[in-house]
Amino acid sequence: MKRILLALMLPLSSFLIAQTQIENGGFEGPWEDVSGSEDEPAEWSSIKSADALAALAPVVAFQSGDAHTGSYSIRLKNTTSFGVVANGIITNGRVHADFDPELGNVFTDVDNDQWNLEFPDRPDSLVAWLKYNPSGSDRGKIEVLLHDNSAPGILPETGTTDHWVAKARYDIEAAHGDWTRISVPFHYYSTGNPNYALVVISSGDSTIAVDGSEL
């Protein structure tokens, strides 16, 4: 039985997907310098390395020494900037930023190996270890989209999902002060194999994220 394993160390620690591994899934390193930001884990992107507005974006991703296994994890925190709450977000694709939060997304950048993961397997589930400290009624999210190369892989969906092979999503709807294990199955839309895996983890609820939530 194939499984996808994600251990979130305050938010993430290690990822294993069948025979294919998420690159730098344990966030142990390397960590790369990002202009005007904290370091980011290699093969991952926050809004500080987005394709637009990166220089204006606040820092929302931080290296953490609180880990379920290993030495490090990544901490995501919602932060207000220019009167808008920036969602604490990281992806193994790339963030597309816009002054209108409704137009923001994450996507598989097939032209840059740093921001895509070729992935041919069909896992059955996503498993994660996480901690979460939401503000108010905020909720975090872990989402993995498996898609083929017939159309761009983008989350949230743009109305075109024929290229989707499978998706797993877990909404974090309660506080977790201690490391907590969660599991959610992949829902399959087709019988074919994917070409890419797009992973996104966020500490807030999309465009209605609340300032201060931490994953």
Chain centre to alpha carbon of residue 10: 13
Closest CA to 145 of 83, 72, 91: 91
Q: Which residues contact 100 (CB under 8 A, 6 or more apart)?
A: none
Q: Does residue 57 contact residue 97 with C-beta atoms inside 8 Å? A: yes
Query: Could you say which DSSP state residue 11 is in?
Result: T
Per-residue exposure over 27-64, b if at least 16 CB sit within 10 Å of its own CB, e if not = bbeebeebeebbebbebbbbbbbbeeebeebbbbbbbb
Sequential pLDDT tens for the chain (215 residues): 444 434 333 333 444 444 567 788 778 878 887 766 667 888 899 998 899 888 888 999 999 999 988 888 899 999 998 888 999 999 999 999 888 888 889 999 999 988 999 999 999 888 888 999 999 999 999 999 999 999 999 999 888 899 999 999 999 999 999 999 999 999 999 999 999 999 999 999 988 999 999 99
E strand segments, the chain = 4-7, 14-17, 31-32, 40-41, 61-64, 73-76, 79-81, 84-86, 89-91, 94-96, 105-107, 125-132, 140-147, 154-155, 164-172, 176-185, 187-188, 196-202
Give the whole-angstrom CA distance, residue 150 versus residue 214: 36
> What pLDDT is recorded for position 142?
95
Whole-angstrom Cα distance, residue 39 to residue 201? Answer: 17
What per-residue confidence (pLDDT) applies to 109? Answer: 95
Q: What is the pLDDT of residue 27?
A: 84
Residues 6+ apart with CB under 8 A from 208: none
SS3 state of residue 115: helix
Counts of helices then strands in the chain (DSSP H, E): 0, 18
Question: Exposed/middle/buried for 199, CB within 10 Å: 0-12, 13-18, 19+?
Answer: buried
Burial of 128 (0-12, 13-18, 19+ CB in 10 A): buried
Q: How far apart are CA 90 and CA 183, in angstroms?
A: 20
How much is the pLDDT for 36? 61
